[in-house]
A and B are shown apart, each in its own frame.
Chain A
Amino acid sequence: MKNKISETKQRRDFLKTSAILTGGALLCGIPLAGAYAGGSDTIKIALIGCGGRGTGAAFQALSTKFNLKLVAMADAFPDKLEKCYQTLFTKFGAEKISVPNDKKFVGFDGYIAAMQDADVVMLCTPPGFRPAHFAEAVKQNKQIFMEKPVATDSPGIRSVLATAEEAKRKKLNVVVGLQRHYQKNYREIIDRVHQGGIGDVIAGQVYWNSGGVWVNPREPNQTEMEYQMRNWYYFNWLCGDHIVEQHVHNIDVANWVKNKYPVSAYGAGGRFLRTGKDYGEIFDSHSVEFVYDDGSVISSQCRHYTGGGNRVDESFQGTKGKIFLDSNNIGKIWDHKGKVLVNYEGKGDPNPYQTEHDELFAAITAGQYKFSDAENGAKSTMTAILGRYASYSGNVVTWDEALNSEISLMPDRLALDALPKVLPNFDGTYPYAIPGVTKVV
């Protein structure tokens, strides 16, 4: 026990040290403000991660009114890269898609070269790779769009936090795909909360209860690494579990409403319905209470059950009223007696997945430094990981011990013939967390 405390202290000292080290990077920061001020230059973008989300993000970037050109692409798999390329080329043609074969980078390390010719990089791989990709992008002084979540474990979060500081010093715009921040109903209602519209927020409930997502069964001749990569949603080093990959959206809204991050979490979860060998190691359900330093409690539920009643939304109660939000552009405020004060129905509001790119590229084109989403992206992702630690362990887990955990989920080596850390049992199922047994921090 004593040993553990001193380890924790050492880790904190390490964190301080690394913060000081990154501080040194300030000296060689290269602000890019002004680079596109004339608006006539073409902005070159590179896409890192060419799956469904990467294809969508590139499409949305290229659909902004600005002068963009895709110049390089990287993915672990050639078929994913080529399908994405064909989709984008079909839509935008050679004028906007200029990716010759020698700018299509396949494999785990292709991102480094793919970034080199670009002004803006789009980081859209499964989240486990994000910390390394984000670090490289900032090292190369790129402006950045990166998808949520931004990591899957605590070392990854610490890396992203350190890189976020460096990005701020270099004045690199960073937009994170927590697109509710770019959605009108969320902006308007939460602004009012921050102005005291419902008093102090003392409780809340956030949900992502839905039917679950795609699954890619194992195919013959796949290495274990390729199988996990192609069925990535079900492996924590890649995905973080659905409490991180999906529910981070709603948990992030809780942090946004509270304007702070929780100090601890306690919860439960398990694999009750989705138990087959195609479903890796993630839980099908989590139920977590997040406690903030003012004693307020936000309860969070996320589950992947195909039956039963679904909901994906957020509610919060304050000393003077309450609010409701959902991603279908709805926002409501009531006073403490239940009288409706605001009934926001934003039918036809802009697509927030588009708005986040419109605003990012407007800032870049104008030579403005306007977006620094990475720190909140990392801390909201950390909150979701904290929730996973709580449901996996069954214990109260504090923010500090979660953030400082040295447990890394990432494989020691990234290659299709390398082994991930979690491997199948003899029957093809995977070991998964057992509360009271599994060590999470």
Chain B
Amino acid sequence: MRPLSHHFKSVLLGVVLFPFFTFAQENDFKNYTRELEGTELKFDMIAIPGGNFNMGSPATEVGRRPDEGPQHQVKISPFWIGKHEVTWDFFEPFVYKNQEISRSKIPLKPQVDALTRPTKPYVDMTWGMGKEGFPAIGMTQYAAIQFCKWLYTRTGEFYRLPTEAEWEYACRAGASGAYSHPSESKLEDYAWFKTNSSNKTHPVGSKKPNPWGLHDMHGNVTEWTYDQYKPDTYTKFAGTVAQDPVVPFETLYPNSVRGGSYEDPATDLRSASRRGSLAEWKQIDPQIPKSNWWLTGGTFVGIRVVRPLVPPSKEEIEKYYNREPIADF
């Protein structure tokens, strides 16, 4: 992860995600609810003002790992982020076009009809943990990005995955401690994790939100970010202020997931805790190459979407979505 200015020319994605000129649309910058046209589906987006924060954790934090340091200043441009993790209610109409059609009172737009959809999973990807109101799980990062493309095609708004930095900024919501809630309150009131989850996901928004109104940033499902995971990312920023950093895509694994899940201990739910995706998350996929779309063993991974205040150009958006998947042997 380097400051944008360092790889402005070589990594176009930096430009795609983080245009500098953000003042143009700030008048409309508030929370909103988006309905998917022709359906009863709607989701809430929370406006996150731009600002600076201290990314990573101090060496003294309980449960801290070396990849969380050194702490460094990061400057973040404004964006909206999902109030909740994406639920199956949205993910299934993306996976199954017939279900999208049956939930829609109007015909699908041709460009929605023509979208590439995930292969139908041979196994039940909810693993019996619940569907309506429960977080969608077990999708690859590629599938998560294609879901964003589906939302974009339906709404005309550029949705994408958060960067690690945006995710941590939104999770902390101004708090500098291990978790976003006040130190005198209990994690159990804010999060589903190993201690209270009965080893399963729970309906999104069934715990208290963080100070910025976001539910389940800690726990329930760990959330995809866009960044490639590198354990030494932060060492490159010591003593600098990174502007909208992102680690660009080079290899299929590992990509960064954040926030911990229902099966993790409390320390893995910390705002600064980082984890890289693993090939083993497709361990029980019998196909070859393994699925581009599904993590047959990734029952703990989900999505939260982000929308930058200032969208990039149409070409840059296309480039973001139309990345070819890497065959997974």
List the interface of chain A (C-beta within 8 A of B): 52-53, 55-56, 58-60, 87-88, 90-91, 179, 208-214, 246, 306-313, 326-329, 345, 347-348, 351-353
B20 is an interface residue with CB less than 8 A from chain A: no
Prevailing SS type, chain B contact patch: loop
Q: Which residues of B contact A246 (CB under 8 A)?
A: 122
Is B95 a contact of A211 with CB atoms below 8 Å?
Answer: yes
A60 to B283, CA, bound (A): 12
Is A214 a contact of B288 with CB atoms below 8 Å?
Answer: no
B92 is an interface residue with CB less than 8 A from chain A: yes
Q: Which residues of B contact A179 (CB under 8 A)?
A: 286
CB contacts under 8 Å to A, within B250-280, are: 263, 280
Taking the nearest CB of chain A, how far is it from the CB of B221, in angstroms? 15
Q: Which residues of A contact B132 (CB under 8 A)?
A: 309
Taking the nearest CB of chain B, how far is it from the CB of A151, in angstroms? 20
A212 to B95, CA, bound (A): 11
Q: Which residues of B contact A309 (CB under 8 A)?
A: 126, 128, 130-132
| Known A306-B98, A307-B99, A310-B124: A87·B287 in contact at CB below 8 Å | no
Q: Which residues of A contact B283 (CB under 8 A)?
A: 348, 351
Chain B, Cβ-Cβ closest to A58: B288
A309 to B203, CA, bound (A): 13
Supply 12 A–B pairs (Cβ within 8 Å), ascending by A. A56-B286, A56-B288, A179-B286, A210-B123, A246-B122, A306-B95, A309-B131, A310-B125, A311-B124, A328-B299, A351-B284, A353-B284
Is A213 a contact of B126 with CB atoms below 8 Å?
Answer: no
List the interface of chain B (C-beta within 8 A of A): 92, 95-96, 98-99, 119-128, 130-132, 199, 263, 280, 283-284, 286-289, 297, 299, 329
Is A91 a contact of B288 with CB atoms below 8 Å?
Answer: yes
A103 to B320, CA, bound (A): 44
Is A56 a contact of B119 with CB atoms below 8 Å?
Answer: no
Taking the nearest CB of chain B, how far is it from the CB of A117, in angstroms? 23
Is A352 a contact of B284 with CB atoms below 8 Å?
Answer: yes
Is A345 a contact of B127 with CB atoms below 8 Å?
Answer: no
Count A/B pairs, Cβ under 8 Å.
83
Is A212 a contact of B131 with CB atoms below 8 Å?
Answer: no
Is A211 a contact of B284 with CB atoms below 8 Å?
Answer: no
Report which of B96, B121, B126, B287 forms a contact with A52, defined as CB distance below 8 A: B287
A310 to B125, CA, bound (A): 8
| Known A211-B95, A211-B96, A310-B131: A327·B122 in contact at CB below 8 Å | no
| Known A210-B121, A310-B128, A311-B124: A328·B92 in contact at CB below 8 Å | no
Q: Which residues of A contact B124 (CB under 8 A)?
A: 208-211, 310-312
Taking the nearest CB of chain B, how far is it from the CB of A297, in angstroms? 22
Q: Which residues of B contact A211 (CB under 8 A)?
A: 92, 95-96, 120-121, 124
Is B128 a contact of A353 with CB atoms below 8 Å?
Answer: no
Taking the nearest CB of chain A, how far is it from the CB of B127, in angstroms? 5
A428 to B280, CA, bound (A): 44
Q: Which residues of B contact A329 (CB under 8 A)?
A: 284
| Known A211-B95, A327-B123: A55·B287 in contact at CB below 8 Å | yes
A309 to B125, CA, bound (A): 11
Q: Which residues of A contact B125 (CB under 8 A)?
A: 310
Is A59 a contact of B130 with CB atoms below 8 Å?
Answer: no
Seed contacts A246-B122, A307-B92, A353-B284; 5 additional CB < 8 Å A-B pairs: A179-B286, A211-B96, A214-B119, A306-B98, A327-B284
A88 to B329, CA, bound (A): 10
Is A213 a contact of B287 with CB atoms below 8 Å?
Answer: no
A55 to B288, CA, bound (A): 6
Q: Which residues of A contact B92 (CB under 8 A)?
A: 211, 306-307
A58 to B127, CA, bound (A): 27
A58 to B287, CA, bound (A): 10
Top 9 A-B pairs ranked by shortest CB distance? A311-B128, A59-B288, A306-B96, A310-B124, A210-B124, A312-B124, A353-B286, A306-B99, A56-B288
Q: Which residues of A contact B99 (CB under 8 A)?
A: 306-307
Q: Which residues of A contact B287 (CB under 8 A)?
A: 52-53, 55-56
Taking the nearest CB of chain A, how far is it from the CB of B253, in angstroms? 16
Q: Which residues of B contact A311 (CB under 8 A)?
A: 124, 126, 128
A313 to B329, CA, bound (A): 28
Is A310 a contact of B286 with CB atoms below 8 Å?
Answer: no
A88 to B128, CA, bound (A): 34
Taking the nearest CB of chain B, how far is it from the CB of A253, in angstroms? 15
Q: Which residues of B contact A60 (CB under 8 A)?
A: 286, 288
A313 to B125, CA, bound (A): 12
Q: Which residues of A contact B126 (CB under 8 A)?
A: 309-311
Q: Which residues of A contact B130 (CB under 8 A)?
A: 309
Taking the nearest CB of chain B, how far is it from the CB of A423, in angstroms? 25
Chain B, Cβ-Cβ closest to A349: B283
Is B280 a contact of A348 with CB atoms below 8 Å?
Answer: yes
A309 to B127, CA, bound (A): 10
Taking the nearest CB of chain B, how far is it from the CB of A325, in angstroms? 11
Is A328 a contact of B120 with CB atoms below 8 Å?
Answer: no
Is A213 a contact of B284 with CB atoms below 8 Å?
Answer: no
A328 to B199, CA, bound (A): 12
A306 to B286, CA, bound (A): 22
Report which of A91, A210, A307, A310 forms a contact with B329, defined as CB distance below 8 A: A91
Taking the nearest CB of chain B, how far is it from the CB of A308, in angstroms? 7
Q: Which residues of A contact B199 (CB under 8 A)?
A: 345
